[in-house]
Structure 1
Amino acid sequence: MSAALNIGARALTTNLAALQVIGHNIANANTAGYSRQTVQTQSSGYQMLGGMYFGKGVELANVTRAHSDYLTREARLAGSAAAADGERYARLQQLESLFPTGTDGLGAAVNSMLNVWNDVASSPSDLSARVVALARGDDLASRMRSTAGQLDILTTSANQEASGTVSTINRLASDVAKINQKIIESQGDNGQPNDLLDQRDQLLSELGKLVQVTTVSADDGSTSVFVGGSQPLVLGSSANKLMLVNNPDNPSQKQVNLIQGGVSQALPTTNLGGSLGGLLTYVNTDLPQMQNLLGRMALALQTEMNTQHRLGMDLQGNVGGDFFVPSANAQAVPGAANTGNAQIHTQVSDPTALKASDYQLVFDGAGVNVTRMSDGVTTAFASLPAELDGLSFELDSGAGAVGDSYFVRPFASAARDMQVAIGSPTQLAVASPVMVTPGSTNAEGLSIESLYAFEASANLNDPVSISFLADGTFTISGLGPGNPPPDNPGLPGSYNYTPGKPLQFNGWSLTLRGSPTAGDSFDITPAPAGSNPQNGGNAKAVLALRDLATFDGVSLSEGYGVLLSHLGTEVQSAQFAARYTEQLAGSTESARAGLSGVNLDEEAARLLQFQQAYQASAKFLQVAQGTFDTLLQTVGR
């Protein structure tokens, strides 16, 4: 009889335990990271009575959770990739808003600044036209400074966000280590602390969205966490820390170091993943690229404008000065491990050859290697100065030791510091220092379009005469050294003529239109004193800068389009990656949740099942108790 009572009691407690687990599932149906739990039962064995074997009922074997290590790992990795791509895409959208198109864009400001010189060329003595030209230049400089300032704000904001993300990672790592300790202490021979395991998986999921992690399980139930490929963030019940620091070889970039036992080790940014990886890609790659593109645009424009403006004459007959305040030469930053004392700077040598890139210089036994950071191309030089990509790398003082490295950002401050250098409209160098006089007997087939100085030449003011021959070629006298040789050698040596193609000699450029007649002649001489109010030659030269191939073969007026094209490509690529990884993360999480999640319909069915089993067990226990009482009463008589 005691066996029957024991069977009933065990059935009652086992079914009650099942009901408790089902209730726990229902209560946590909406709890993030919760895995459905299931009661595992088993037979309580048997006993022999009268040569027969009778079962002893049921007992609770274990409470397990619906969980797949594979699906959990895949969901975590996909979530990390989605977080990285999503973070970068969101940041690039913010960046894109700084570069509008249409009349609000920098391209419109550049063209407006250049186009207004057409009015100045038409009316060189009109002060109102000169004032407008200065205003357009000031407006462009203001927009450049504003855009550069907004880029600085985005950089600061992203750095602060990255620092906050690192702090959150450290907190989560510490929480994982604490959970590991609890699991070690709670681990039993026949069961597992399911809720602690769920809490740890949820922490790892949150951690994976911030930085890509890999995990390794130990026999004691703890899980070690690794970041950056193979660096230990959590080992059992102890956690290391991450720290966001400046890259010692590139102060404009950030890197993440792992601090373990007082030793700091840099983690590869490309292996970080998560929102932290997306942020650092944005900070270290996307923002510097846009700063370089904007800075190159500003530096090339101000260099071309200043060079041309200095070749002209102002309203009082003075030689023109700088139109924009020249950017300071970029100083190279020495590497932290340098042992030499070299001081290096860069300056523009050819504004039409500039590449939107930072540069690294490394000294070796054979000289110095200059690496263009945008594509990793390295060029070796025997010594400094070195000319590369329209830049001159100059050694100011000292010497570099073997192994020394230097990092330089030639375009970092060009847009940030851009401003107009002149304040009076009379200082605008509109006039050309040379003038052209057609021969008195010229036919009417040729017209003069423009004449201006295009480079500083010692022979600029030398009198020169051009005479056209019957075959349409021309001869020229009065040339100084360094001019191109005749196209047609002989006596006399003549040059070919193409209508509309500039004739460039002695530092001046003359453009003629039409068809020449034999005997047509033109004399180029210094502009006489007092002719500046009627002379708009240099204004036409500034206007001609619009079509100067400057940005990888693209004209100065279309330089903003190069910037927009690069940004648009990056945004579109980031959008595609974000959408793809978001869908992948959603599908892998759905697969994990499909296995581990709570289905209320299923739980309701199981609730009814075990409720009936519990009631039946109670009824059986009641019958056994009644039978036992009857037996006691019978025996007692």
Structure 2
Amino acid sequence: MADMLSTGVSGLLAAQVGLNTVGHNVANANTAGYSRQLVNFVARMPQGEGGYYIGTGVDTQSVQRAYSQYLNTALWTAGSGQSRATTYQSLTGQLNNQLSGSSNLQTSLDSFYGAVQDMANAPSDASARQVLLARANGLASTFKSLSGQFDQLSQGVNRQIGDTVNAINSDSQSIAKLNEQIRTAYSSSQGEPSDLLDQRDALVKKISTEVGVSVVPQGDHTVNILVGNGQALVNGTQSYALGTAPNVYDATRLEVTGKDTGTVISGQIGGGSLGALLDFRSGVLDPAQNQLGRTALAMASAFNAQHAQGMDLNGAMGGNVFSVAGPTVQGASSNLGSGTVGASVGDIGKLTTKDYVLSYDGSAWGLRDSGGNSITMAGTGTAADPYTADGLSLVVGGAPSKGDSFRIQPTRTAAAGFGVVITDPNKLAAAAPLVASVGSTNKGNASVNSMAVSDPSNAALLNPSSIVFDSPTSYRIDGGPSQAWTPGQAITNNGWSLKLDGAPATGDSFNIKANTNARGDNRNALALGKVANLGVLDGGNTSVGRAYGQLTSQVGSAGSLAKDALTTQTGLYNQAMQAQQSVSGVNMDEEAANLVRYQQAYQASAQVISTASNIFNALLGAVKS
């Protein structure tokens, strides 16, 4: 009878464990990261009775979570990808909104060139000139506004990098503490600490959304968490913090470092929101800022160059209409020498959207672009013979030390420094400075095709000149030496250039003199209007408007790709979550069935115990009687 009672008690206790586990599963059905728990039973060793065995009941062998390391790892990876895609899409969306918002640069360019055309239609009208100045200031405000918005977005990225690093460090500490608790629990031989394991997995999943990590299980049931190229975040029960430090060239720009070593690991980080922040900054925002600056440089350079070829209402040659910031040079904070680097734009047609690093190896200077590619330089680096590369002119000086370096950003701050120099509308040079006329006694059919200024700084530009042809193929200027001429060839002198159509005859003359009717002349204003479509960048193939179109296109393309990536990553995450939950998730129907099953087992075991008690009592009663 004692064996029957023991058997019933074992079944009752086993059913009780099953009921408690089902209740725990149901209670945590909506707990994030919870893995349903399963009870494993094993039959007790039977007792031999002659030629047979009698069972002695059941033992609860373990309570374990339903878990797949493979599926959980896949979920962490998918979560990291989705988090990165979400952050990246949000940032590119903000940048697209800035470009398409009220500060749309194309609208400002159209308004400005519309005002240039209005001045060309009425070059002496004061109101048309005043409107043009207002539109010029509006264009400058748009450049500055966009640059300011880009800077604000960059500052926001900096703040998010700092906040994300802090969150990663907090999660790393928590994982290390759980590692210790889990290792202690296993060493106590009390079975699997399922809830502690779930808490750790939930933190691993969270940290994987913050940064791409590698999870390495250890033999003592702890896990190591690695980031980048092996930087440890968690090693057993010890956590290692990430840090942030100012960029070696720009103190306003944060880089991610190993806090203990100080080594910059920004370039090693991928995945998660931190990877998205760093990738967006270097892959989208920096090129966008550089392209905006390149557009500003092209606008100022092309318009100023054409304006300088005209004459204003005061009879003076046109000056600069726009000012723009030049290249920025930043010395590394680790520099030990006293070397200096000066940078300027030498050929805007060769200017790129890249940044560069000029380094000194102890004997010579070397240039690399932002992608780490070596750039060939011409020249010797002196003021008389500067280094030239990709449209830049670089002058080095001082006494640099081996390893010193300087970052050069040709266009990064150009838009922020874009401004209008002219405040007096009378100084807008709508007229051409020179007038070319055909001699009244000419016998040939040659006529003036074009009159252009090639060097507005020439002191003799406005001096009168006379061109007399000695023969149909030679001419003299102001009685000077005879010069050969072929049809289509430009005749140049004192900073101007003249082209003729037709064939001149011997003795034909052409006269050049300063324009005395600048008030009603619109020739330079018409030329200024053509600057809108003038090829300035990329070897003369890209106009200012097209350069801005390239900016909107590259940002728009990045945004479109980010949306597609988010859709893809969300689908992968949902699939991974569904697969993981199919194993580890709580199924209420299944738990309801288990509840009934364990309840019936409990009741049946209680009945066995009751029966054993009744039989035992009957036996006692029989003995007493």
TM over 0.5: yes
Shift >4 Å, 4+ stretches: 249-253, 441-450, 466-470, 474-477, 502-506, 509-512, 517-522
Structure 1 stretches of 5 or more lacking a match?
482-490
Matched, 1:633 2:621: yes
The match for 1:169 is 168
- Classify 1:597/1:449 alpha carbon distance in 2 versus 1 (closer, same or farther; 3 Å): farther
Q: Separation in 2 of the partners of 1:334 and 1:508?
A: 43
Alignment match, 2:366: 369
The yes-or-no answer on 1:541 pairing with 2:539 is no
**CA deviation vs aligned residue, 1:282-324 (integer Å, no higher than 9, x gap):** 2233211111000111122112222333333221122332211
Return the alpha-carbon distance in structure 2 between the equivalents of residues 272 and 538 of structure 1.
54
What are the within-5 Å matches in structure 2 for residues 150-161 of structure 1?
Answer: 150-161=149-160
> 1:468, CA displacement in angstroms?
12
Give the distance between the partners of 1:615 and 1:467, measured in 2 at CA.
126
Amino acid at match of 2:85: D
Q: Does 1:345 align with 2:346?
A: no
Contact 1:368–1:383 under 8 Å retained in 2: no
Residue 604 of structure 1: how far off its partner (Å): 1.4
Structure-2 residue corresponding to 1:573: 561
- 2:466/2:478 contact within 8 Å kept: yes
Paired residue secondary structure (1:620): helix
CA distance in 2, matches of 1:279, 1:133: 41
**Conservation of the 8 A alpha-carbon contact between 2:103 and 2:146:** no
Residues 5 and 537 of structure 1: CA distance in aligned 2, closer, same or farther (over 3 Å)? same
**1:59-458 equivalences in 2 (<5 Å):** 59-100=59-100, 105-187=104-186, 188-189=188-189, 191-249=191-249, 251=251, 253-260=253-260, 263-327=261-325, 329-365=326-362, 367-373=364-370, 376-381=373-378, 383-384=380-381, 385-395=386-396, 397-440=397-440, 451-456=451-456, 458=458
Contact 1:145 1:417 in 2 (8 A): yes
Pairs aligned (count): 614
Structure 2 contact 119–128 (Cα < 8 Å) conserved: yes
**Residue identity in the other structure for 2:26:** I
Q: Deviations over 1:326-365 (max 9, x none)?
A: 42x4342112332221121211222222211211101235
Taking structure 1 as reference, are residues 601 and 424 closer, same or farther at Cα in structure 2, changes over 3 Å only? Answer: same
Query: 1:85, CA displacement in angstroms?
Result: 2.2
1:505: how far off? 6.7
Match of 2:572 among 584, 591, 596: 584
Q: Distance in 1 between matches of 2:433 and 2:371?
A: 41
Deviation at 1:222, TM superposition (A): 1.6
1:125-166 Cα shifts (integer Å, max 9, x gaps): 221221121111111001111111111111111211111111
Tell me: CA distance 1:576–1:105, structure 2 relative to 1, closer, same or farther (3 Å).
same
- Partners of 1:50 and 1:300 lie apart in 2 by 104
How many angstroms apart in 2 are the aligned matches of 1:190 and 1:171? Answer: 29
CA shift digits 1:164-214 (9 cap, x unpaired): 111111111111111112112222436110000000000000000001111
Provide the secondary structure at the position in 2 that maps to 1:255.
strand
Q: Distance in 1 between matches of 2:495 and 2:372?
A: 36
Give the residue type in structure 2 aligned to 1:350.
D
- Work out the CA distance in 1 between the residues paired with 2:522 and 2:599: 100
1:600–1:343 distance in 2 versus 1, CA, 3 Å: same
Could you say if the C-alpha distance between residues 95 and 204 of structure 1 is closer, same or farther in structure 2, counting changes exceeding 3 Å?
Answer: same
Indicate the larger mover: 331-340 or 157-166: 331-340
Higher mean alpha-carbon deviation, 399-408 vs 88-97, is at 399-408
Give the counterpart letter for 2:513 in structure 1: P
1:113–1:136 contact (8 Å) kept in structure 2: yes
* One-letter identity of the residue aligned with 1:335: A
- 1:465 corresponds in structure 2 to 467
Write the deviation string for residues 561-582 of structure 1: whole angstroms up to 9, x where unpaired.
1211221222222222222222
CA distance in 1, matches of 2:81, 2:462: 66
- 2:100 aligns to what SS in structure 1? coil
Q: Give the match's secondary structure for 2:42.
A: strand
Q: Deviations over 1:391-425 (max 9, x none)?
A: 21123x41323322110212222111212111111
Deviation at 1:457, TM superposition (A): 5.9
Q: Distance in 2 between matches of 1:330 and 1:145?
A: 16
Computed over aligned residues only, the root mean square deviation of the Cα atoms, in angstroms, reads 2.9
Query: Could you tell me which amino acid in structure 1 is paired with residue 183 of structure 2?
Result: I
Where 1:197 maps in the other structure, the secondary structure is helix
Structure-1 separation of matches of 2:534 and 2:429: 20
1:254-277 C-alpha deviation (Å, 9 max, x unpaired)? 3211223xx322224343321011
TM-score (norm 2): 0.91
Mapped contact 2:328–2:408 kept (Cα < 8 A): yes
2:488 equivalent to 1:497: yes
Pair 1:9–1:516, CA change in 2 (3 A)? same
What is the CA–CA distance in structure 1 between the aligned matches of 2:27 and 2:449, rounded to whole Å? 86
What is the 5 A alignment of 1:604-623? 604-623=592-611
**Would you say the 8 A contact 1:433–1:452 is kept in 2?**
no
Is the Cα–Cα contact under 8 Å of residues 457 and 506 in structure 1 kept in the other structure? no
- 2:522 counterpart of 1:525: no
Q: Which amino acid aligns with 2:598?
A: F
Give the distance between the partners of 2:467 and 2:534, measured in 1 at CA.
27
Contact 1:62–1:190 at 8 Å: present in 2 too?
Answer: no
Q: Find the residue that maps to 2:613 and give its secondary structure.
A: helix
Q: Relative to 1, partners in 2 of residues 1:607 and 1:554: Cα closer, same or farther, differing over 3 Å?
A: same
**Distance apart, 1:69 and its partner CA:** 0.9
Looking at structure 2, the residues matched to 49 and 77 of structure 1 have their Cα atoms a distance apart, in angstroms, of 57
Q: 317-326 vs 237-246, which deviates more?
A: 317-326
AA aligned opposite 1:571: G
Pair 1:133–1:427, CA change in 2 (3 A): same
Residues 489-521 of structure 1: per-residue CA shift (max 9 Å, x gap):
xx98433439xxx98776435577xx7365597
| Displacement of 1:583 | 1.7
Q: Which amino acid aligns with 1:607?
A: L
CA distance in 1, matches of 2:336, 2:318: 45
Cross-structure match for 1:563: 551
Deviation at 1:121? Answer: 3.0
Q: TM-score, normalised by structure 1?
A: 0.89
Say whether the 8 Å CA contact 1:37–1:65 is kept in structure 2.
Answer: yes
| Separation in 1, partners of 2:478, 2:363 | 43
Give the CA deviation at 1:616.
Answer: 0.9
Q: How far apart in 2 are the matches of 1:614 and 1:505?
A: 113
Q: Secondary structure at 1:606's aligned position in 2?
A: helix
Sequence identity, in percent?
Answer: 33
CA contact (8 A) 1:80 1:273 kept: yes
Counterpart secondary structure, 2:106: helix
Mark the runs of 5 or more structure 2 residues left unpaired by the alignment: none
Distance 1:544 1:517 in 2: 29
Could you tell me which of 600, 604, 612 is aligned with 2:588?
600
Matching residue's letter, 1:288: D
SS at match of 1:9: helix
Residue range with higher mean Cα deviation, 221-230 or 207-216: 221-230
- Give 1:123's aligned amino acid: A
Distance in 1 separating the partners of 2:497 and 2:577 = 69
